[in-house]
Structure 1
């Protein structure tokens, strides 16, 4: 029993046992010496017997070991922060890949649109040439028709080749008009395709912009360790990714 009490006294936990239980017991010399120095004991004789009457020996101070607790808390924080950083890194890398893909698609669509615009311009120039040819043939046919009418008014018969020339110009005029209309139709088709690609380019540009903002928010989330910022980055990045994939599907 003396060893248990000495252990309690050595760590300062003197309030865990009752005084009356050890009244009159012989204690080891070192324990008795410590008890004589304790002001909370009313009396202790030279033989080490505890005398007097009191109810509890209270500890002078409470010692709480918080080092291990602090280390555990720090480890848990580092664990959670590491998991958050890994999640941010993965989502940011995914959004960066989507942004690169969206930029590539946006560049391809605008280049194709410019090529189609160039072809439409060429078709327009060819159609204009055909309409000019049409007008020239129309003027020549009109001149020959006027000559024939003048000859007829004078009572003279028109040469045979005059009628053939008028008919030839009329046929050439009709052919030029048909070709001009076909060229204009091709021009409109190329122009519509180019406009659709330009619209897709704008959608890709919006998607890339959202992905870039998402990546920037991911960097902020990594620096501040704020999950709310990371969630905002993820939502914006997912919207940009969905818009990019949807534009590619309708294209």
Structure 2
């Protein structure tokens, strides 16, 4: 307070002046900016982690559907095998040559149908394997995003500790751990 050239500082004014003169070049401001950047990048990493986890689930579901369809085809193949075996038996037991030929033709038809069914079943199994591989790749990427997000969360916690303790080396630790998180996020982005 100034009156006729006489200036008196209150205790609060003195603390503010002291902090402005002795705080190392905007320490709190630097940490606030670092924390905001880490939180923004962390939000992106978290979103990507959730998206890859959802994609992995969808792909795993697609794999299960294709596996079920392949199982249906193999059951159909088995039924044709049973019909073929009965037709072959009937061709042996039939009384006339005309009847025997009829059952041999049926057995040959079942054999051809089985080949088509087998090819369809194997194609579905291959599709199932492909979806499984894609799902595993998505889960690997999800884990990378989760690791990156965790590192950024730890970095933000270190920033809070640095602000409370006013230790410059803690600010350095914040940046280093944040950097590790960004590297892990880059690995996830590159599917490493």
TM-score (normalizing by structure 1): 0.66
User: What residue is the counterpart of 1:110 in the other structure?
Assistant: 53
User: What residue is the counterpart of 2:92 in the other structure?
Assistant: 149
Of Structure 1 and Structure 2, the greater helix share is in: 2
- Which of 150, 157, 167 is the aligned partner of 1:226? 167
Deviations 1:170-217 (CA, angstroms, capped at 9, x unpaired):
111111111000000000000000011011111111111110010011
Q: Secondary structure of 2:26's partner?
A: helix
User: What residue is the counterpart of 2:69 in the other structure?
Assistant: 126
Shift of the 136–224 alpha-carbon distance from structure 1 to 2, 3 Å rule, reads same
Segments of structure 1 that go 5 or more residues without pairing to the other structure are 1-70
Deviations 1:105-154 (CA, angstroms, capped at 9, x unpaired):
00000000100011000000000000000000011001111111234xx7
Runs (4+) of structure 1 exceeding 3 A deviation are 71-75
User: Partners in 2 of 1:115 and 1:147 — Cα distance?
Assistant: 48
Q: Name the Cα RMSD after superposition.
A: 1.9
User: Partners in 2 of 1:233 and 1:203 — Cα distance?
Assistant: 20
Report if the CA contact (8 A) 1:95-1:241 is conserved.
no
Q: Secondary structure of 1:250's partner?
A: coil
User: What residue is the counterpart of 2:154 in the other structure?
Assistant: 213
Deviates more, 1:142-151 or 1:215-224: 142-151
- Which of 40, 43, 48 is the aligned partner of 1:97? 40
Higher CA-based Rg: 1
Query: What is the Cα deviation at residue 74 of structure 1?
Result: 5.7
Q: Residue 77 in 1 paired to residue 61 in 2?
A: no
User: What residue is the counterpart of 1:37 in the other structure?
Assistant: none
User: Partners in 2 of 1:173 and 1:228 — Cα distance?
Assistant: 72
Segments of structure 2 that go 5 or more residues without pairing to the other structure are 1-15
Q: Residue 168 in 1 paired to residue 113 in 2?
A: no
TM-score (normalizing by structure 2): 0.85
Q: Residue 87 in 1 paired to residue 30 in 2?
A: yes
Query: What is the Cα deviation at residue 84 of structure 1?
Result: 1.4
Aligned length: 176
Report if the CA contact (8 A) 1:210-1:236 is conserved.
yes
Larger relative contact order (Cα-Cα within 8 Å, sequence gap ≥ 6):
2
Query: What is the Cα deviation at residue 93 of structure 1?
Result: 1.0
